[in-house]
């Protein structure tokens, strides 16, 4: 125990002797060393955060691009396609050309029950223009200008999609009386509440 105290006392005296001989120049060097390490860490963190933000923005844009390309045969018939189209104003907020193409696509994209050839031609053209503009934003400059006109959509996918729609319709028809009753109750409650106010 006394050895430890002796060593500790000796260490403290050595430190005091060392600091008494350290001059202003040495202290400034230590401070500069500490500050340069701190600045290096802060700059590194800033660059890493900036790169992560840029990567996240690119990934969001690419996801929208991939969804639109992958679901171009179903368009509004697929909820993911609709979600991707509706995310464009946020994800591509800094690209005026993409937003202009989106606006034109939305104005011409009507889902008529029996579409005419002209409507489908305009729709394909506007969607194609939108996808090509998104591709440019992502750095894909060598994409075929008619990328949206051809796609793979086997009959099995079509029939499965139709079958899902039929099941959904049947389920909603089965629950229709129940939903009507619930709606009546809500209207009565709202009416009673407005009378008491």
Burial 23-33 (b: 16+ CB within 10 A, else e): eeeeeeeeeee
112: Cβ contacts below 8 Å, ≥ 6 apart: 119
- Average confidence (pLDDT) over 33-37: 86
**Predicted local distance difference test score (pLDDT) of residue 189:** 77
Per the model's pLDDT, the better-predicted residue between 35 and 111 turns out to be 35
Per the model's pLDDT, the better-predicted residue between 113 and 53 turns out to be 53
56, two tokens: 């996240």
**Predicted local distance difference test score (pLDDT) of residue 109:** 72
**Predicted local distance difference test score (pLDDT) of residue 12:** 67
**Predicted local distance difference test score (pLDDT) of residue 119:** 47
**Predicted local distance difference test score (pLDDT) of residue 51:** 92
Contact 137, 95 (CB under 8 A): yes
74: Cβ contacts below 8 Å, ≥ 6 apart: 81, 153, 161
Q: What is the pLDDT of residues 48-107, one digit of tens each?
A: 999 999 999 999 999 999 888 888 767 666 788 888 999 999 999 999 999 999 998 888
3-state SS assignment for residue 31: helix
Range from 23-27, 39-43, 69-73 carrying the lowest mean pLDDT = 23-27
HSE-up of residue 116 (Cα within 13 Å, Cβ side): 4
**Predicted local distance difference test score (pLDDT) of residue 97:** 95
């Amino acid at each position: 125990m006394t050895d430890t105290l002796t060593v500790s006392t000796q260490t403290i005296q050595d430190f005091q002797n060392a600091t008494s001989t350290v001059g202003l120049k040495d202290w400034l060097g230590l401070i500069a060393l500490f500050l340069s390490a701190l600045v290096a860490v802060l700059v590194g963190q800033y660059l890493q955060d900036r790169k992560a933000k840029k990567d996240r923005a690119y990934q969001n844009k690419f996801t929208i691009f991939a969804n639109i390309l992958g679901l171009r045969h179903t368009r509004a018939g697929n909820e993911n396609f609709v979600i991707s189209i509706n995310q464009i104003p946020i994800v591509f907020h800094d690209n005026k050309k993409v937003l202009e193409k989106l606006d034109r696509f939305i104005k011409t994209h009507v889902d008529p029950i029996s579409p005419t050839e002209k409507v489908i031609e305009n729709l394909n053209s506007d969607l194609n223009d939108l996808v090509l503009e998104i591709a440019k934003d992502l750095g894909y400059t060598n994409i075929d200008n008619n990328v949206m006109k051809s796609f793979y959509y086997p009959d099995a996918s079509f029939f499965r999609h139709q079958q899902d729609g039929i099941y959904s319709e049947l389920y909603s028809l089965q629950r229709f009386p129940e939903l009507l009753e619930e709606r009546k109750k809500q209207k009565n409650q709202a009416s009673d509440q407005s009378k008491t106010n």
